[in-house]
Structure 1
């Protein structure tokens, strides 16, 4: 299990435009890395729209928002187009990054157990260390909560 102050596991994944995005290339910036189950589903749409709506505020804080799901880059393109999203979505079809971050595991719904994405968010500082973790995200108000935590942590680093 990853902890605050751990070095964030590096990765390279394709974004919605099939351009490879690597965590190590983002050193010097804050990174909001959020894992979500599936494009175009109610909770995931709300979360993506909330992050998109607050994107200018995150950019003011020198932060990049990256959403990661097992969906394909094509599905990401459709999702972005359909919902007018401005954030970057990464495709982890092999679930390697999801597993590295503990965002893939056993879930329960309606009494049945299955493997799936555990909705979680990691705030990574400019040195590439995990600054904060939300292990089981509730979508409502989450983007705002992440933004406030980012502001608070940045004050401590200035």
Structure 2
């Protein structure tokens, strides 16, 4: 289980344009790495749009934003185009990054258990260290949740 203070696992994945993205691409920058279940679903859209709507504020504070879900690159392209998202989304169809970051696990809905994406956000500092993990994400106000928690 990853915890705050741990070195963030180095991930590699394919973005919406089928270009490889790695944590090392953001060396020297703070990263908001958020995991969400599915493109174009209400909670995931609210979270992604909230981060995108506040993108300039986040980048002015030194953050890069990267989203990860098991959707395909094509699905991510459509999601970005539909909602004018301003950052990379990684297509983790094999769920490798999700598993690296403990964001794939047992979920319960309507009394049934199943494996799925656990909505989580990791704040990674300029040195690749996890400084904050959000396991209870406020999808409609995630930017403020992050900035308030980090006192920014």
TM-score, length basis structure 2: 0.96
Partner SS for 1:56 = helix
Work out whether residues 61 and 151 of structure 1, in 8 Å CA contact, stay in contact via their aligned partners in 2. Answer: no
- Give how far 1:151 is off: 4.9
Decide whether aligned partners of structure 1 residues 62 and 28 sit closer, same or farther in structure 2, where only a CA change above 3 A counts. same
Answer yes or no: is 1:142 the counterpart of 2:112: no
How far apart are residue 86 of structure 1 and its match?
1.0
Pair 1:86-2:65 in alignment: no
CA distance in 1, matches of 2:62, 2:150: 10
Q: Quote the RMSD (CA, aligned, Å).
A: 1.1
Whether the aligned pair in 2 keeps the contact of 1:48 and 1:87 (CA below 8 Å) is no
Post-superposition offset of 1:149: 3.3
Q: Distance in 2 between matches of 1:18 and 1:145?
A: 31
Provide the residue aligned with 2:95 in structure 1: 95
Q: Which residue number corresponds to residue 47 of structure 2?
A: 47
Question: How far is 1:10 from its partner?
Answer: 0.3
Q: TM-score of the superposition, structure 1-length normalised? A: 0.92
Contact persistence 1:51–1:87 (CA under 8 A): no
Aligned length: 152
Residue 125 in 1 paired to residue 135 in 2? Answer: no
Q: Which runs of 5+ in 2 are unaligned?
A: none
Extract unaligned runs of 5+ from structure 1. 153-158
**Counterpart in 1 of 2:33?**
33
Report SS of the residue matched to 1:34: strand
In structure 1, C-alpha distance between the alignment counterparts of 2:113 and 2:149, rounded to whole Å: 33
Question: Could you tell me how far apart the structure 1 residues matched to 2:135 and 2:149 are?
Answer: 15
Counterpart contact for 2:138–2:145, Cα < 8 Å: no
